[in-house]
Structure 1
Amino acid sequence: PALAPVAEDHEEGGARGPLRTAFAGLTTRGRSFLAAGVAAGVCAYVLGQGELLRVGVLLAVLPLVAATVLFRTRHRVTGSRRLSPLRVQAGEEARVHLRVENVSRLTTGLLMLQDRVPYQLGPRPRFVLDRVEAAGRREVSYRVRSDMRGHFPLGPLQLRLSDPFGMCELSRSFSARDTLTVLPAVVPLPASGLGGQAPGAGGGRQRALSFTGEDDVIPRGYRHGDDLRRVHWRSTARYGELMVRREEQPRRSRCTVLLDTRRGAYAGGGPDSAFEWAVSGTASVLTHLLEREMDVRLITDEGALDAVPGSDGFATARHEAAEAAGALLDVLAVIDHSAGTDLAAAHDALHGGTEGLLVAFLGALDAEQTALLAGARGRGASAVAFLLDGPEWGLPAEPGQAEPAAA
């Protein structure tokens, strides 16, 4: 957890001056006592009542003394925030844990905590804590949930201290902030044969062969069961241990996933909109293919995205599936509509090489864009397209336009 800087009550005098800062924190009770004291003093002066004057002085002085004492007391309080987990899917809940610790030698008064959260995550949480003894700590937690994906900042944590009589309150704000990442919803997909998967028998990684690959002559350490005829004697003499030659690098299947983000291709907004469905479908396909040990890359109508470092933008076998999926989902968490009107950039990215499988999530298409995208499919490559049915999603379309585009 990120520990916020120590908040001290005497630090915020600023240009307003210490007295003005202290008196600005008077509560309704404190202001009422002060007004009653002034009124009693005026009445005592007019009526000539000494006893009433003493009561008025007591009522007026009490909130002023409380404000001065609270302002000059050296309360030092630290706060921290911890998110569990840091990344959630849309519609899932995350828990935020707050911890407040009194690092001074004085017991604090009543503490009121308030954490700033975006409205998409729910109402602003508020907590009231009793006095915190010296070196004491208090822990509270609250839940947040969002149906929309994105990055949501949390914080800063605000703290209010009050005197025992409730006459004055002083607010302090910590500087620590955290970010909750809400990923698009991922739907489990059933196992099925994929046209982009390279041929070959066997299971495990050997089934994830690809149409393309290069010889890999880099030797590696000897493992039990390796053929001794593959021993690389020059490397063995150099490294002082038995090294074997990898004569051919395994070939892996490749898949390109295209997400159409054109603003004009979708209608409406919100978690149930067509665009959010397309983003969720893209995330589901990418996760599914990575679990099947395929190399994947993500492109949009604006071209290729370097979401995961790899050759030609593909998430390769050199990356763990969970790490690659996390990087791609982070990109999809913040992806938004583009201002483009055509798929020319996507066509160029696909024309550079469409080995293996091509999966496309498309919005509304006209005849020109349909022909352009259909021509981007490589020879012998398998392709699957999900087309937006405009009228079903509230997007006006000409009668009979969806069927020709699908064909």
Structure 2
Amino acid sequence: MAAPRRALAGLTSRGRCLVGGGLALGLTGAVLGERALVQLAGFVLALPLLAALSVARRRSRVSTRRTVTPARVARGGSAEVVLELQNTDTRRAGVWLLSEQLPGALGRAHRFTVSGLAAGAATKARYQVTGRYRGRYQVGPLQLRVVDPFGLVERTTAGGDTAPLTVVPRVRPLGPGGPGGGRGRGGEGARRAIAVSGDDDVTVREYRQGDDLRKVHWRATARTGELMVRLEERPWRAQGTLLLDTRARAHLVAPEREGVPQVPGPPGDRWPPADSLEWLVEAAASVGVALAEQGADLRVVTAAGELPPAPGRRGLGADELLDRLATVGASRASDLSATVAAACRVAGNGPLICLLGAVGPDDVADLVQQRGGPVADVAVLLDITGWADAAPARARRAGPAAEALRGQREQAAAMLAGAGWRVTTAEAGQDVADVWSRLGGIRLGAPA
């Protein structure tokens, strides 16, 4: 009796209504003394029991195989899921109500019906999923509901098989402008060239405390009026370092929900970034892929730490970068001091590209102090208030502080520009390529 009891626990709405009607009919017949009504009530109540016995005896044996193509899509892209079902029982199957479970970020569960599948036969079901948010997801498992022919009782079982799907940030074409737009040679045989004005092309820089006085370049010193030292040319490999300001306090982050917020975007862009953090990650993906395709040793440092390259590699490849960025989220870090120190250490003498959220002078002071030299560093400052219009709650939060944020951003930009950085501001609705082109052309790994 345990199996029928479990089956009766799966009464559908129709089955519960039938049981309620049978009980009411039997009670009425007993009160009025109508034997026919009592007999009819017994027949009505017997139907759900017979349905429960039918469902309990029907042991569905089904094997599933799920294929997701492609297994990695850019945000806003679609993937096709092919679900293969095979009836491994020796009897014809009844009615299967199938529900493919999906994470909320991929949409609602897909439901379909398979009826009367012969023993050993197989069938396929296809559907599309759209990656609306970055992340790593599991498609499935399949939920199988077996119902009786009258729809009174159902039994639900869930499989354990899933298939992975990775939603990576979009890569926007940057065009010929911007830092890294030139196709510099990044091979091991390339050498750093720091040109000084005049006829002498010796590689020199200003004297720093602790430099060997034997390396003083007297001709350049006489020409510039400042003590200059000679740098030893050594083989190098082009490199680029990205600093991503992923602090939650520096962004207006849109929570994952059923509808993607409608924010302004470039013409023809169906999936503009829903918040400033998504814009920053998308910009990092676009710039990073461009640098990696030029042969650079790419390093990426976020507020939560560095995105590690694969063992044995000096930097991230294009695909590896996208996989790492797929799971980058908002960090609880309160300031950028640790992030700046790590990025400066990783960048060394190579270029540093900073993608910053809402910052002020205190946030960029460490960058000004710790960075200097012939290589041109780049900073993009986000105007996060542009994303507040997508949600009234965020608009109320950002409204009173918009002027204060603008003033702090302008002060930070002035500090960086005064220290020799190339600085620009990005707003909601602007394409990454447009912002990047405003920074001017700098050959990868070369000084400005």
SS of the aligned residue for 2:301 comes to strand
Is 296-305 or 275-284 further displaced after alignment?
296-305
1:189 and 1:198 mapped to 2: Cα distance?
A: 13
Of residues 156, 169, 177, the one that matches 2:154 is 169
Could you say which residue in structure 1 is the equivalent of 2:324? Answer: 331
Question: By how many angstroms is 1:378 displaced?
Answer: 4.4
Match of 1:375 in 2: 369
1:232-262 alpha-carbon deviations (Å, 9 max, x no partner)? xxxxxxxxxxxxxxxxx98431111111112
- Counterpart of 1:127, as a letter, is F
Q: CA deviation at 1:399?
A: 5.6
Name the residue aligned to 1:280: 282
Contact 1:104-1:135 at 8 Å conserved across structures: yes
Cα distance change on mapping 1:141 and 1:196 into 2, 3 Å: closer
Write the letter of the residue equivalent to 1:181: T
Cα deviation for residue 326 of structure 1 reads 2.2
Letter of the 2:411 counterpart: P
Aligned CA RMSD, in angstroms, stands at 3.2
How many angstroms apart in 1 are the aligned matches of 2:385 and 2:354?
A: 20
Q: CA shift at 1:268, angstroms?
A: 4.3
Cα distance per residue 1:305-326 (max 9 Å; x no partner): 3143345x523xxxxxxxx222
Task: Between 43-52 and 60-69, report the one with greater CA deviation.
Answer: 43-52
The 3-state SS of whatever aligns with 2:330 is: coil
Partner of 2:190: 209
Change (3 A) 1:196 1:268: closer
Task: Work out the CA distance in 2 between the residues paired with 1:350 and 1:36.
Answer: 72
Question: How many aligned residue pairs are there?
Answer: 343
Asked whether the 8 Å contact 2:10–2:154 carries over to 1, the reply is yes
- Aligned residue number for residue 99 of structure 1: 84
Alignment of 1:3-402 (within 5 A): 17-34=2-19, 55-192=40-177, 194=179, 209=190, 211=192, 251-269=236-254, 271-310=273-312, 314-315=315-316, 324-352=317-345, 353-389=347-383, 391-392=385-386, 394=398, 396=402, 397=404, 400-402=407-409
- Of 299-308 and 361-370, deviating more is 299-308
Mapped to 2, the partners of 1:64 and 1:400 lie a distance apart of 74
Unaligned runs of 5+ in 2: 194-233, 256-272, 388-397, 418-448
CA distances 1:3-51 after superposition (whole Å, capped 9, x unpaired): xxxxxxxxxx9xxx32310212233444455555556666777777777
Amino acid at match of 2:361: A
Contact 2:358 2:405 in 1 (8 A): no
User: Any conservation in 1 of the 2:188–2:235 contact (CA below 8 Å)?
Assistant: no
> How far apart in 2 are the matches of 1:369 and 1:43?
79
Contact 1:196/1:255 (<8 A) preserved: no
Match of 2:394 in 1: none
Counterpart contact for 1:354–1:378, Cα < 8 Å? no
Pair 187,56 (structure 1): closer, same or farther in 2 beyond 3 Å: same
1:139-197 deviation per Cα after TM superposition (whole angstroms, max 9, x unaligned): 11222223321223332211111122333211111112333221112111113585698
Displacement of 1:115 in angstroms is 1.7
Name structure 1 gaps, 5 residues minimum.
Answer: 1-12, 213-248, 316-323
The alpha-carbon deviation at position 348 of structure 1 amounts to 2.2
Secondary structure of 1:148 counterpart: coil
Equivalent residues of 2:242, 2:343 under 8 A apart: no
1:78 aligned partner, one-letter code: S
SS in 2 for 1:82: strand
Structure 2 distance, partners of 1:354, 1:195, is 17
SS of match in other structure, 1:334: coil
Question: Matches of 1:42 and 1:382 in 2, distance apart?
Answer: 89
In the TM superposition, what whole-angstrom CA distance separates every residue of 1:85-143 from its partner, at most 9, and x where no partner exists?
A: 22111111122222221100111111111122222222221112222111122211222
TM-score by length of 1: 0.73
Per the TM alignment, residue 57 of structure 1 is displaced from its structure 2 partner at its CA by: 4.4
Letter in 2 for 1:359: I
Q: Is the 8 A contact 1:197 1:210 kept in 2?
A: no
Measure, in 2, the Cα distance between the counterparts of 1:365 and 1:167. Answer: 62
Whether the 8 Å contact between 1:196 and 1:382 is mirrored in structure 2 is no
Q: 1:372 to 1:49 in 2, by over 3 A?
A: closer
Bigger mean CA deviation after superposition, 49-58 or 176-185: 49-58
> What TM-score, normalized to structure 2?
0.67
Following TM superposition, by how much is the alpha carbon of 1:210 offset from its aligned partner in structure 2, in angstroms?
5.7
> Shift of the alpha carbon at 1:64?
1.5
Between the two proteins, what is the percent identity of the paired residues? 36
